[in-house]
Amino acid sequence: MTWRAGRQGHGRRRLSTTGTLALLVLLAGCTIGPSPAPDLVVSGAGPATTPATATSDTRPVGPGGPGRTAEPLDFADCPFDYDSTGPTDPTGPTGSERTFVIDCANLVVPKIYDAPNDPGTFSISVARARAENTPQDAPMLVVMLDDPGEHPASAIAAVAGSLPAALLERFRIVTMDYRGTGDSAPVACVSGATADDILSLGADPASDAALQLLTSVSRSLTFDCGDLAEDDLTRFATVPTADDLDTLRAALGAETLDLLGRGHGATLGAVYAERYPGRVGALVLDTPADPRLTPQDRATASAEAAEQTFDSFAAACADFDGGCPLGPDPRATVSRTVAALGDSGTLSNDRQLISGGSILLATMLGLGSPDTWPALARALADADTGDVDAIANLLLAEATLPDAGDRLSAGILYACNDSAQRLSGTELQQAAATAGEQAPLFGPFAASTVGLCAGWPAPSTALSGVTAVGAAPVLVLGSVDDPVTAFTGVRSLAGQMNSAVLLSWQSATHGSYPASACITGFVDDYLIDGTVPGNDQLCPP
C-alpha cells in the first residue's frame, strides 16, 4: 500500500477523531470503553458562577514561568493551497458550506526553552479564520483538535467549520501546527513499508514471530526518525508544544489564553494549564487523556475498556438487519479469526497483509463508531471466511489521504517523546500476559503497541500529572462510553486539576462538543458569557 506523504492540495479536509493512524500509534496513550458516571441532568442544571480575573500582580506561576514573550505576529495571505471553505454548522440544519476569511503567520519558537546555550529555533505555522459576519477585531479563540500531525494550520477552514455558528459569531479562530508536523519543522520519517508493518502487527508478542516484527518496526522507527531529525528527535513533544502555545498567546497580544482542545489537543491544554496557570483564560478540554499513567498502564486500561465495548457491540449484533453475521457468539468468532490469521496473515486485494493483530485493530477502530457497527460485523464475518478486503479497507481508509504518512510520523514522535517508559522484549511479553489476564481478547495486542518506542532515546520532557493550581475554572468534557478516550481517564484528570469542572455525556461518541446539544449549551455559555456550570453533571444521550 502506498502511504501518502506531503501536502498536495488539501481540498476540503475532514478532521478525523478515530483515525487508524492516530489510534494505533497513540494506543498506549488512550483508553477505550465505559465507566461510572454522575447523576443525569437534562440541561444546564446546577449552580453557575462567573470566574474571577487575576491581575498581573496576583497571577499564579507554574513550571513554565510567568509567561513567554514574543514579537507580534505578522498575519498575511495564506499559501495558495489553504482552503477557505469549511463544512456546514454542526449544530444547525444541513446547508451550504461556510466560507471564511483566512490569514496566516509564522511563529518563531526556541528549540529548547530556557536553554543556557542557543540551540536554534523552529518556525511554527499559525492560521486564523473569521466568519464573514464576524467583526475584524473580535477576540481570538485558539482551537487544537485531535492528534499531532492533523495539520491544523493548513486545515484552518475545517477547524473553524467544525464549530457552532454561535462561537464563530463571537470569535476569530486561531490554530497552529504542533512542532515537528505540517509545515513546522516536519519530521516525516515513517516509510511506507514500516507503516504497512505497523498495520500488520501480531496479536500477541508472546509469539516469536510477533515479537520479532515488533522489534524490527521499533528499530526502523528509531533509526529512520533519528536520521532525519538528528539532535532534534526528542524535542517534538507535548510539554514544549505547551510552551509554544504560551508563545503564541504572547504573539497574539493576549494576557491570557482562551483555548478549546479535543483529544490530544485537550491533553495539551491540560499541560498548558499546569505550566502557565496564571495565563489560563477560558479553557475547554474535550476528552483529554490522563498524563500520569505509563503507556503500559494505559494500554491495559485500553484493552479492559475495549472488552466492555465489545460486549455492547456483541449484544447489539442480534438486532442488526438480517441478524448477527457473527453468529450467536461474536467473541468466539472474532477469537477464531484472530487465531486463524495468526502472525503470517493473508493478503487483501490491495496487497495489505491482514494478520490477527490487524483484526483486533480494525475491531477497536470500528467500536469507535456505533453507527457503523453493522458494517463492522459484516467485515469481521467476511474475515472469518477468509475474505479480508473489508477489514483492509477499514484500516487503509486514511492511508491514501494527503499527509497520511506525515500524520503517522507525528503520532510516533509524540507517543515516544511523551513517555520515558521503554520495555525490553521480555518485559513486553510479561506486560502482554498481564494485560491478557484482564482483557483476554484485546489485552496482549494493546500491550504490544508500547513496544513501538522500545528503541527510542529517553525523552527530554515526559508527561506527568497536572494540578494547575491557581488556574481559572477549566471545563473538562467526556463521554461515558467513549471508545477512544475512556471516561475513567477524563474523570481522573478532572480530579487532579484544582479548578476543573467535569461535564459528561451519556454517549459512546468521541468528543462531546458540539455533538451534544446539552454539552454545547454549557460550553457556549462558558466561552461566550463566562458562565461556569456546576461541577459533575451528566447530559442525556
pLDDT at 118: 82
Q: Are 486 and 305 in contact (CB under 8 A)?
A: yes
| pTM for the whole structure | 0.88
Angle at the Cα of 74 from the Cα atoms of 72 and 79, rounded to 5 degrees: 145
All three cell numbers of 509: 461518541
Strands lying side by side in the sheet with 257-262 = 85-86, 98-110, 121-131, 172-176, 140-145, 257-262, 280-286, 474-479, 500-505, 537-539
| Residue 20 reports pLDDT greater than 50 | no
Confidence of residue 420 (pLDDT cuts 50, 70, 90): very high
For residue 223, what pLDDT band results from cuts at 50, 70 and 90?
very high
Give 117-171 pLDDT, tens digit per residue. Answer: 888 999 999 999 999 999 999 999 999 988 887 767 888 999 999 999 999 999 9
β-pair type (474-479, 500-505): parallel
pLDDT grade for 421, boundaries at 50, 70 and 90: very high
Could you give the domains of the chain?
A: 32-183+231-293+465-539 (3.40.50.1820), 192-228+310-453 (no CATH)
291-301 pLDDT per residue, tens: 998 888 888 88
Is the separation of the CB atoms in 28 and 415 below 8 Å? yes
Q: What is the Cα–Cα distance from 541 to 427, expressed in whole angstroms?
A: 41
Can you give 302-316 as a three-state secondary structure string? HHHHHHHHHHHHHHH
Q: Using an 8 Å Cβ cutoff, are 123 and 184 in contact? A: yes
- The CA distance from 326 to 137, in Å, is 57
